[in-house]
Structure 1
Amino acid sequence: MNTPCPPSRATFIQKANNDISDILRFLRNQGAPLMVSVYPYWGYVHNRLSMHLDFALFKSKKPVLTDTFNVKYYNLLDAMVDAFYRAMERVGVSEVPIVIGEIGWPTAGGEHNVTTTQNAAIFNQNLLKHLEARKGTPKKPQFAIEAYIRSLYDEKDKSIHPSYQSFGIFETNGNPKYPLFKKSSN
């Protein structure tokens, strides 16, 4: 995508417009969603000079971003998803719901004060709360967000950037890195 912030100005890169519009029309005709990877971690890392970490971690108590149409954003995830919806509108297919096929926060391998176990716990715990609210995004409140956390375990064997290797929510021995789910009374 080009210019994902503010969301109302988002577009797909020019050379992808034809392909993405064909894909979106196919998905619309099939009644299927579009699966995308959405990483507020990367959105924050690439914009940290102009963005507060609380916005990426769902901790903002007041709107951090007000879009062109006076749409207010309290978290980066909603802004990123709405940017994608706006780019879809620009290619003429807006009614395909988005499903987040990959999302998460790394516990290591990146900037020492950002890729921490504590930040990953905060992000994923707040992500679950956000998803449980089933409110959708400010642009598409009628579409509850469906999302899948990227990895159960770290992927240390992959020869990729070290932060990509550290999205797991469990250690390789099966122990959780941090508490994620509420304890059930059953």
Structure 2
Amino acid sequence: MALQNGIQDDEVAPMLLQLGQLQNLQQELEQSEQIRLELEQRNRESNRLAQNEIATLRRALVEQSIELQDQSKQLQDQSKQLKDQSNELRKQQNIIASLLAENDSLQNTLHIFLLFISFVAPPVAVAMKANSRRMSHAETASALIRCTFLCFVLWFPAVIFAIGFVGVKEEKKKQL
């Protein structure tokens, strides 16, 4: 059957087939183009989200870095303060140690002086009493001997105790 333009059916069939194939190819091309556009859009969106995430992480890292620097500075300041306090405590300990040593020296001197006075005072008192009563030399000598003996008996343990006490204090100083 002939068409109006003079084209035969057998000529039209291959053309229609090619036209159908071209239309299918065009649809596939349009679909491919649509898919490509969607993929590009997704890729741009994904890149934008990734860049936002990277920027957020960078900001967080910068903030943490600043915080760590601040903490480091604070720790350095605290360390310096602790060193200063430690030095001040050492100075105070040295002052206290020197005061304790001076105090011990004064106490030892006072103990020796008191022991001397307590050892010398009774015989002197006996001699003064003997002089005021007009005691005989034998009575005075006897009183002095008794007084001296009593001083030895009474003060010898005190002297031993004082020596031991000084030794204990020296041992405590060594432990400190």
TM range (shorter): under 0.3
Instruction: Decide which structure has greater helix share.
Output: 2
Which structure has more relative contact order (CA 8 Å, sep 6+)? It is 1
- Rg bigger for which structure? 2
Instruction: Decide which structure has greater strand share.
Output: 1
Normalising by structure 2, report the TM-score.
Answer: 0.18
Normalising by structure 1, report the TM-score.
Answer: 0.17
